[in-house]
């Protein structure tokens, strides 16, 4: 079940043709040598110095060591002061350093088979709903055929009923199924008791009832009375990483704590029954799903945790009017509520991504890549050289990528701009195909896919990146603390992982 990266050899089409020097194997090794030299430059520079020091120390006789000890005995004040300073600095370091945040485990909700919705069922139900014009039914069919979704995604009962019966009661029913299903599995995996949870964060963008979703969880599991609970709403598909960032900050202030995060979206009350095409796209992409994540700052949890949080980077472009209004929940001309997706969405997402990776790059990229980027930037800006900006190779910083499965167009653009391979994009594309756009929880379905494929090795680094209304682009970087044993994993993928990856045609006729 273990997956290996594809490695296509460079074979000339004809022995008479000149070799492509840009793809030359020798040039490839020159670049690898450059990266190795720069990345390990400090060690290569210090190694001769360390050798000289040890060579000098090896010449010391016992008499020399005794004379040094005698000298220190008559400088007791200096020894005491130096020792006190060393103790003080060590204490200060251990008191002020950030507490490591561990991802103990996570779980993704898999709805029951009765919620499964093929593309044909989707079109049949849309037609029988009686609220869509023939032109807009055809529009939805075309979107669905090109969406990258398969025939095994899930919708809530209220939407699948004929006629649909969205209501507050049905929306709470969907929320309870998703949240409690994911949390039950997480508690079973980690053996953590509900009373042990000190921090609770729930993010759901479009469904915010009273009592809140976090209150529903506290009531269901009888969590303790002094729990720090938060309910994030209206923050879009990137809210899952905002929750991670919030939990990270809270875990710095509360030692020996567990943080439980639930990332989800609610479909029942947010299905659009109008004929505004800019609002119909979300019907074709969004599907039922959710995830529960357990974080810890306890040192004793390091051995059993899967990952350590390296860093988070948040980018918020809401100050720009075009960015602010590109994803908006509003009424159409007939008063029906839906989510409008602007035509500027891809351009806005690209701008937010650029800002985000500019901040993230210096934190994760090897020195060799940073030097190349800085050199081309200086040449272009300072010396007015006509050269293309250097795009850093993030594959040198990360082994795995979890990119929010917002839609095929988003994934295509990111694959091209970040120069990723189909192997790197596979978790995102297969998640979109199998589960659809599950909003903020899609990143966790993607990580679960990577685990189920046996790809996670100890020391591997992974980049989670998501986009959301507002407009926001957020990143989280994790480092694997152990090699994931596929035989011990339980996730929505495990029963069918051997069927993936599948070929997803550009157009899948219904």
Cα–Cα distances in angstroms (integers) from residue 471 to residues 116, 285, 314, 324, 344, in the given order: 31, 19, 11, 6, 11
Q: What does the pLDDT look like over 183-192, one tens digit per residue?
A: 999 999 999 9
pLDDT at 86: 83
pLDDT range class, residue 384, cuts 50, 70, 90: confident
- CATH at residue 456: 3.40.47.10
pLDDT at 31: 54
Distance CA 196, CA 227 (A): 10
pLDDT at 67: 74
For 437, which DSSP code?
Answer: B
Q: What is the mean pLDDT of residues 136-141?
A: 96
Q: 110-124, 143-157, 378-392, 408-422 — which is least confidently predicted?
A: 378-392
pLDDT at 57: 73
**Does the pLDDT at position 22 exceed 80?**
no
Which has the closest alpha carbon to 123: 70, 177, 160, 175?
Answer: 160
Q: Who's near 398: CB < 8 A, 6+ residues apart?
A: 364, 461, 462, 463, 477
For the chain, counts of helices (H) and of strands (E) = 17, 13
Q: Which residue has the higher pLDDT, 390 or 233?
A: 233
Give me the percent of the chain exceeding a pLDDT of 90: 69
pLDDT range class, residue 260, cuts 50, 70, 90: very high
Residue 132 covered by a domain: yes
Q: What does the pLDDT look like over 230-257, one tens digit per residue?
A: 999 999 999 999 999 999 999 999 999 9
Name beta bridge partners: 432.
Answer: none
Quick one: tokens of 114? 């009765």
Quick one: tokens of 497? 């992982």
Residue 193 covered by a domain: yes
Distance CA 249, CA 241 (A): 13
Distance CA 439, CA 407 (A): 11
Residue 131 covered by a domain: yes
Which has the closest alpha carbon to 402: 477, 499, 352, 348?
Answer: 477
Q: Who's near 204: CB < 8 A, 6+ residues apart?
A: 175, 213, 231, 232, 233, 239, 264, 265, 266
Residue 479 covered by a domain: yes
**Does the pLDDT at position 483 exceed 70?**
yes
Name beta bridge partners: 327.
Answer: 341
Residue 19 covered by a domain: no
Q: What is the total count of domains within the chain?
A: 1
Q: What does the pLDDT look like over 43-83, one tens digit per residue?
A: 666 777 778 877 777 777 777 777 777 776 667 677 777 77
Which has the closest alpha carbon to 392: 425, 424, 368?
Answer: 368
Residue 70 covered by a domain: no
Quick one: tokens of 409? 């167009």
Distance CA 65, CA 83 (A): 20
**Does the pLDDT at position 104 exceed 80?**
yes
| E-assigned strand segments in 361-498 | 400-403, 461-468, 472-480
Q: What does the pLDDT look like over 445-469, one tens digit per residue?
A: 999 999 999 999 999 999 999 999 9
Q: Print the domain residue range for 243.
A: 102-484
DSSP β-ladder status, 307-316 and 102-108: antiparallel
Q: What is the mean pLDDT of residues 359-379?
A: 82
Mean pLDDT of the chain: 88
pLDDT at 317: 95
pLDDT range class, residue 379, cuts 50, 70, 90: confident
Residue 466 covered by a domain: yes
C-alpha radius of gyration, the chain, whole number: 27
Q: What is the mean pLDDT of residues 115-135?
A: 94
Residue 26 covered by a domain: no
Whose tokens are 């995996």? That residue is 189
Q: What is the mean pLDDT of residues 376-397?
A: 79
Distance CA 130, CA 150 (A): 25
Q: What is the mean pLDDT of residues 396-416?
A: 94
């Amino acid at each position: 079940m273990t997956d290996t990266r594809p490695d296509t050899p460079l074979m000339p089409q004809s022995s008479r043709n000149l070799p492509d020097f840009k793809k030359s194997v020798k040039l490839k090794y020159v670049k690898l040598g450059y990266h190795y030299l720069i990345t390990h430059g400090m060690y290569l520079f210090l190694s001769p110095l360390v050798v000289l020091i040890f060579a000098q120390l090896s010449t010391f006789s016992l008499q020399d060591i005794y004379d040094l000890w005698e000298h220190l005995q008559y400088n007791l004040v200096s020894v005491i002061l130096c020792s006190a300073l060393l103790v003080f600095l060590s204490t200060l370091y251990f008191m002020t350093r950030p507490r490591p945040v561990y991802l103990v485990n996570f779980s993704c909700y898999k709805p029951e088979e009765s919620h499964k919705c093929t593309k044909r069922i989707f079109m049949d139900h849309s037609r029988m709903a009686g609220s869509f014009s023939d032109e807009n039914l055809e529009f939805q069919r075309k979107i669905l055929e090109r969406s990258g979704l398969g025939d095994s995604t899930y919708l809530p009962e209220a939407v699948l009923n004929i006629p649909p019966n969205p209501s507050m009661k049905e929306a709470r029913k969907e929320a309870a199924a998703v949240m409690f299903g994911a949390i039950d599995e997480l508690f079973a995996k980690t053996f953590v008791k509900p009373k042990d949870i000190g921090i609770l964060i729930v993010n759901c963008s479009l469904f915010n009832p009273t009592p809140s979703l976090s209150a529903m969880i506290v009531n269901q599991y009888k969590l303790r009375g002094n729990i720090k609970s938060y309910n994030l709403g209206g923050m879009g598909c990137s809210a899952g990483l905002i929750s991670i960032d919030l939990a990270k900050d809270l875990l710095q202030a509360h030692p020996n704590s567990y943080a439980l995060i639930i990332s989800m979206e609610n479909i029942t009350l947010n299905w659009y029954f109008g004929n505004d095409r800019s609002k119909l796209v979300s019907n074709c992409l969004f599907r039922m799903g959710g995830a529960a994540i357990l974080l810890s700052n306890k040192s004793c949890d390091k051995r059993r945790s899967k990952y350590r949080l390296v860093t988070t980077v948040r980018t918020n472009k809401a100050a720009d009017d075009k960015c602010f209004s590109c994803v908006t929940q509003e009424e159409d001309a007939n008063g029906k509520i839906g989510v409008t997706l602007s035509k500027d969405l891809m351009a806005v997402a690209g701008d937010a991504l650029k800002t985000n990776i500019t901040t993230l790059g210096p934190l994760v990229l090897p020195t060799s890549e940073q030097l190349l980027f800085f050199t081309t930037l200086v040449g272009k800006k300072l010396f007015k050289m006509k050269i293309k900006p250097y795009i850093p190779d993030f594959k040198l910083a990360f082994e795995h990528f979890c990119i929010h499965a917002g839609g095929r167009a988003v994934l295509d653009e990111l694959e091209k701009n970040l120069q990723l391979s189909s192997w790197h994009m596979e978790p995102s594309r297969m998640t979109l195909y199998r589960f659809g756009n599950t909003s903020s929880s899609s990143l966790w379905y993607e990580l679960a896919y990577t685990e189920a494929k046996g790809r996670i090795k100890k020391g591997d680094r992974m980049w989670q990146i998501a986009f959301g209304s507002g407009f926001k682009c957020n990143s989280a970087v994790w480092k694997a603390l152990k090699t994931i044993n596929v035989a011990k994993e339980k996730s929505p993928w495990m029963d069918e992982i051997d069927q993936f990856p599948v070929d997803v045609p550009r157009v899948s006729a219904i």
